[in-house]
């Protein structure tokens, strides 16, 4: 499954999937920022787990990285492109093509089949429309979903998680963001799901940033960061 890196003329490393610098965000009325992050960088294809306690801003950080919210200060670059430079439909198209997301509650479209859920994610794909169905079916089958026409709500929790992974990878993204991806699963299925997610990202060439408060996931990643340490890191320090 080839992966294309879209380049941009920036100071960011040419193989960087994600670069975050001096990021802060506070909700209206809050006295303190919920997100304060000096620096975080993921190389192309790198897999990183980021831990923090419940309520520490992990999900908010992912929403900022995905461009679903705007930071108060700082810069976020995906594959060399500054998210702050994109607005409206341009940002939506960029997100759809460059970023895959796996949510803790999956957010599948009920009433739609597994296949239709993946096809919906391909609306912003650069792939020719004639290739959408074949790619969607191929992803689902490779991830163990044989009943591609079954409604999402009729699938088991584990199967729904696999559909969510297929949807996240459908457009061959540069970066996959996983928000507590095992929160709905028991420990045995959680370990299998994380292994599946990592393997699928590795095959597609996508970098993976997984945020969790589950310490049992840390050992399966080559690199572990904590929100606490990143918030203290001096600007200019290594990622």
7: Cα separation from own chain's centroid: 20
20/77 Cα distance (integer angstroms): 6
Q: Which has the closest alpha carbon to 37: 235, 224, 215, 238?
A: 235
Domain ranges across the chain: 16-232
Name the burial class of residue 149, with classes exposed (0-12), middle (13-18) and buried (19+) by CB atoms within 10 angstroms of its CB. Answer: exposed
CA atoms within 13 Å, Cβ hemisphere of 195:
6
Is 194:182 a contact under the CB 8 Å cutoff? yes
In the predicted model, is pLDDT for residue 236 greater than 80? Answer: no
The closest alpha carbon to 170, from 215, 140, 208, belongs to 140
The CATH fold assigned to 16-232 is Rossmann fold (3.40.50)
Cα(100)–Cα(215) distance, rounded to whole angstroms? 23
Question: Taking all residues of the chain, what is their mean pLDDT, rounded to a whole number?
Answer: 87
pLDDT, residue 153, reads 93
Q: Are 88 and 143 in contact (CB under 8 A)?
A: no
Instruction: Give CA 126 to chain center in angstroms.
Output: 19
C-alpha dist (Å) from residue 126 to 66, 130, 170, 200: 19, 11, 11, 20
Question: Which of the four pLDDT bands, split at 50, 70 and 90, describes residue 4?
Answer: very low
Q: Facing residues of 102 across strands?
A: 178
The pLDDT confidence band at residue 98, using thresholds 50, 70 and 90, is: very high
Answer for the pair 177, 102: CB distance below 8 angstroms, yes or no: yes
Kindly indicate the confidence band of residue 234, based on its pLDDT and cuts at 50, 70 and 90: low
Looking at the whole model, is its pTM more than 0.75?
Answer: yes
Of 76-80, 175-179, 191-195, 210-214, least confident by mean pLDDT is 191-195
Cβ-Cβ contacts under 8 Å for 21 (sequence gap 6 or more): 38, 39, 74, 75, 235
């Amino acid at each position: 499954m080839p992966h294309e890196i879209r380049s941009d003329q920036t100071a960011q490393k040419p193989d960087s999937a994600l670069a975050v610098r001096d990021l802060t965000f506070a909700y209206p009325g809050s006295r303190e920022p919920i997100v304060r992050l000096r620096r975080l960088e993921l190389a192309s294809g790198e897999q990183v787990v980021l831990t923090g306690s419940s309520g520490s801003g992990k999900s908010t950080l992912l929403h900022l990285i995905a461009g679903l919210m705007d930071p108060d200060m700082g810069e976020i670059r995906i594959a060399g492109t500054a998210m702050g430079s994109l607005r409206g439909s341009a940002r939506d198209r960029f997100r759809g093509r460059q970023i895959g997301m796996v949510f803790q509650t999956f957010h599948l479209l009920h009433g739609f089949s597994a296949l239709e859920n993946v096809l919906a994610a391909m609306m912003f794909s650069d792939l020719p429309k004639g290739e959408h169905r074949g790619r969607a079916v191929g992803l689902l089958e490779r991830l163990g979903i044989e009943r591609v026409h079954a409604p999402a709500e009729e699938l088991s929790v584990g199967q729904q998680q696999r559909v969510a992974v297929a949807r996240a990878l459908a457009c061959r993204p540069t970066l996959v963001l996983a928000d507590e991806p095992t929160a709905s699963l028991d420990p045995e299925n959680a370990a299998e799901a994380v292994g599946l997610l990592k393997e699928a990202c590795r095959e597609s060439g996508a970098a993976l940033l997984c945020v969790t408060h589950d310490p049992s996931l840390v050992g399966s990643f080559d690199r572990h960061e904590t929100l606490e340490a990143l918030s203290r890191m001096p600007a200019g320090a290594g990622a």
